[in-house]
Amino acid sequence: MCLVATGGADAYYEMGIHCWDMAGAGIIITEAGGVLLDVSGGPFDLMSRRIIAASSRAIGERIAKALQIIPLKRDDAAN
């Protein structure tokens, strides 16, 4: 994800990643001017275990349209 922040990559996506793995990199991306989205194309939800990090909203939304969403248990879900 930090490659997106440095301009080394246009985008990154992952499903199944945990909130503690996204939090720090997410701040770095947004501070560098990038965007975070849910893989559905909606607003980023830290507890959803899925992320698109992109250099622009247009790139993130284009990736979201091409992805097949995998249902995952949320990080804040009760056992």
Structure-block tokens of residue 64: 């979201």
Q: What is the CA radius of gyration of the chain?
A: 12
Asked if residue 21 belongs to a known ligand binding site, the reply is yes
28-51 as b/e: b if 16+ CB within 10 A: ebeeeebbbbbbeeeebbbebbbb
**Which residues sit in the known binding site for Mg(2+)?**
21
**Which residues sit in the known binding site?**
21
